Structure 1
Amino acid sequence: MALQACGFGQIFRRFKPHLLMVLVQMGYTFLYFITEASFNHGMNPHVYITYRHIVAGFAMLPFAYFLERKGRPKLTIALFAEISVLSLLGVSLTLNMYFASLRYTSPTFLASVVNTIASLTFIIAVVLRLESLNITSPRGTAKILGTVVSLAGVTTMTLYKGPAMRNISGAFIHIQGNQIHENWLKGSILTVASCITWSVWYIMQAVTLKRYPAQLSLTTWMCFVGGAQSAVFTVFMEHKPAAWIIGFNIDFWSTIYGGVVCSGIIIFVQLWVTEQKGPVFVTMFNPLSTILVAVIAYFVLGERLYMGSILGGVIVIIGLYLLLWGKEGDQETSIKPQELSYLDYEKQKEYKKQLVSNSSVEKEVHERDP
């Protein structure tokens, strides 16, 4: 029984990052619909992002302060500047473009285009020499081919809307104020631009974690700084004071959910998984939310699906998993040297301890029997 429990424990530890990322994508799936309902109700997207990250900052602050009080590195001016840039890329700039595009497209389109983040992250990592690329190997070829196919898929979704698919049945749930999105091209450009800055954010947070290895504290800082940046941006964009007032309705609940769950817990989980598995691994689970969003939007909410989104989404997912198949080979080969170096280090420590022990014994014997 103990051996069986030990076996389950090893399996859980091995697949813990995979399980966490599945839960992350489920959390993001619900976010698409609750935010769309809030925006259709009249919530300003920029005000939403500001409130959401202020809520997230206060929700994460106690955990960051008490749990990382002893191990948190000193925050220097240079490090704070780096966190400010990280907050701009991951919070204020990216999310303002991302959620603004929801006004002009649909949750299904957004969830599909997000899949290109893996390919964009890989391209940026190769340019910055953070990723290896051997074009002569089958896996290296798969990386290149997967990247090209993914980008072709998002281009298809952006430029080709296509006919709408006929709904088999009516909507089971009606989102209040549901409307038809007209400016598809404008929304597409905003979505793609947000994915590019999002990809840079994934790369940069992997670098920042090496200098500031405190995930809870980093999440808290990003939420507060990003919320402040978004507030400044919103003041210039929204001149109506009434836009800042929200009632105890869908606007309130979308803000709480987005702040506590998505900007707080989910970002912390992603930082942890990024530190364990790398930024490309984190993006490999995006197709799960694409499938869940498409199913819920079509069958439950009765939202129209366009042929361009379906075709482009399938192409993107095929390209994504070609890229990830190539990446898996790198992970397999990179783990072994790390394990060997760790074992060598442990052996060296034991050897040094043995030498110190032997020398102390010899000294004691020599003192007793000169």
Structure 2
Amino acid sequence: MAQANGMTPVILMLVTQVALASVNIFFKFAISSGVSLPVLIAYRFLVSTAVMVPLAFFFCRDKIPKMTWKIIFQGFLCGLFGGSLGQNLFFESMALTSATYITAVLNLLPAITFIVGISVRLERLEFGTAAGKAKVFGTIMGMGGAMLFTFYKGFSIDFLQSNIHLLPRNSIHLALPASDHRVLGAFLALAGCFSYAIWIIIQAKMSETVPCHYTSTGLMSVMSFFQSTIYALCVERDWSQWKLGWNIRLWTAAYSGTMGALVVTLMAICSRLKGPLFVSAFAPLMLIIVALASVLFLDEKLYLGSLLGAMLIVCGLYVVLWGKNKEMKKRMSELVLSNEIQT
């Protein structure tokens, strides 16, 4: 029984990575259909709101804090950086690059969060320590991998290619984008990472005043829905784009909205059971799933530069996580020692 309980976080994290990978694949299909991404993202957060608000009321109705201006403002910022802005940046980048590229760049998130944390003085550089050096070198390694992924192709790796191509042949995003599109896509993806890094920092502050993750996720979904809807109304004037119908656009909005909301909850549970580093360690699994699915079924090409860049990004991720883990252990031992001295 104890072994089964110990395996529960692992199973939950495997489920979350498969769910997140399938969200990226769904969006790739929707992009190929010529959908307006701002409209689709607005519908996604509508579904997310419809899922999370009832869950928050059911599970946390006795724990919902009074909605002060501080909590509302924190929810607005979380909805902006972790929702509407971040999602639009990432999926616009996917339209210019590929699902594999976006998934690879997401592994830069711990390194970029470290950079943002230093800039707002929530992280300490401590380059003289092994942990500080690891975080710095891991960040440089990840950034170098992203640049290699973007600017270098090399020869194509064809042994994984299959004859199954699920995207339509006339898709405007089917072929490898031009170099200028790749550069713009890379810039948008990095901007999306910085947006998510800011969200992580704000979310940590918000969790102090809103401890129930169903409530905080529900508030974030509501804010993201209103923000993304206003943005979509401003940039999309073709009202036919707002008609979903029984097609891939509807399935993408429904699936991504539901899974996006539930995955946040599952990751919060795993983080509480095993810690945030345990959750972060599973991130490369999504890259493997998306890369294999894209090569096998979406007619995407895998190049040597893509493979080497992804390996550098993943290695950088684990170096940063190692440094962060060592730093957390040091702080924990210092806290225990301080408590013993006081007693």
Q: Residue 240 of structure 2: which of 236, 239, 242 is its match?
A: 242
The equivalent position to 2:203 in structure 1, one of 202, 205, 226, is: 205
Tell me, yes or no, if structure 1 residue 324 matches structure 2 residue 321.
yes
Structure 1 residue aligned with 2:54: 62
- Aligned counterparts of 2:144 and 2:70: Cα–Cα separation in 1: 39
After TM superposition, the structure 1 stretch with the greater mean CA deviation from structure 2, 323-332 or 209-218, is: 323-332
Cα separation, partners in 2 of 1:343 and 1:21, compared to 1, 3 Å: farther
2:100 aligns with 108
1:84 is aligned to 2:76: yes
The reply on whether 1:11 has 2:6 as its aligned counterpart is yes
Q: Assess, with a 3 A threshold, how the Cα gap between structure 1 residues 20 and 126 changes in structure 2: closer, same or farther.
A: farther
Q: How far, CA to CA, are the matches of 1:10 and 1:329 in structure 2?
A: 26
Which of 38, 42, 45 matches 1:50?
42
Aligned partners of 1:221 and 1:168: how far apart in 2?
Answer: 43
Structure 1 pair 123/63, CA: closer, same or farther in 2 (3 Å)? Answer: same
Asked if structure 2 preserves the Cα contact closer than 8 Å seen for 1:97 and 1:193, the reply is yes
The aligned length equals: 337
For residue 290 of structure 2, what is the aligned residue in structure 1?
Answer: 293
- Is 2:303 the partner of 1:306? yes
Identify the structure with bigger relative contact order (alpha carbons < 8 Å, sequence gap 6+): 2
| Percent of residue pairs bearing the same amino acid type | 28
Unaligned runs of 5+ residues in structure 1 are 349-370
- The match for 2:26 among 6, 9, 34 is 34
Offset, 1:278: 6.3
- Amino acid across the alignment from 1:312: G
**Offset of residue 256 of structure 1:** 0.8
Shift of 1:20: 3.1
Query: What is the alpha-carbon distance in structure 2 between the residues aligned to residue 197 and residue 339 of structure 1?
Result: 35
TM-score (normalised: structure 1):
0.83
Map of 1:119-134 to 2, 5 A cutoff?
119-134=111-126
- The one-letter amino acid paired with 1:292 is I
CA drift of 1:208 comes to 1.0
Change in CA separation of 1:103 and 1:204 when aligned onto 2, cut-off 3 Å: same
How much is the aligned-residue C-alpha RMSD, in angstroms? 2.7
Alpha-carbon distance in 1 for matches of 2:95, 2:319: 32
* Partners of 1:104 and 1:184 within 8 A in 2: yes
What secondary structure sits across from 2:118 in the alignment?
A: helix
Q: Aligned match of 2:17 in 11, 21, 25?
A: 25
| Residue identity in the other structure for 1:120 | I
1:228 equivalent among 223, 226, 229:
226
Question: Is 2:77–2:202's contact at 8 Å kept on the other side of the alignment?
Answer: no
Range moving further from structure 2, 87-96 or 267-276: 267-276
- The letter for the 1-side match of 2:64 is R
TM-score, scaled relative to structure 2: 0.89
Paired residues of 1:167 and 1:298 also in contact (CA < 8 A):
no
Residues in 2 aligned to 1:48 and 1:120: alpha-carbon distance in whole angstroms: 27
Structure 1 residue 44: Cα displacement? 1.4
1:268 corresponds, among 249, 265, 276, to 265
Q: Which runs of 5+ in 2 are unaligned?
A: none
Runs of 4+ in 1 over 6 A off after TM superposition: 337-345
| Shift in alpha-carbon separation, 1:47–1:130, aligned structure 2, 3 A | same
Q: Which of 215, 218, 222 is the equivalent residue of 1:217? A: 215
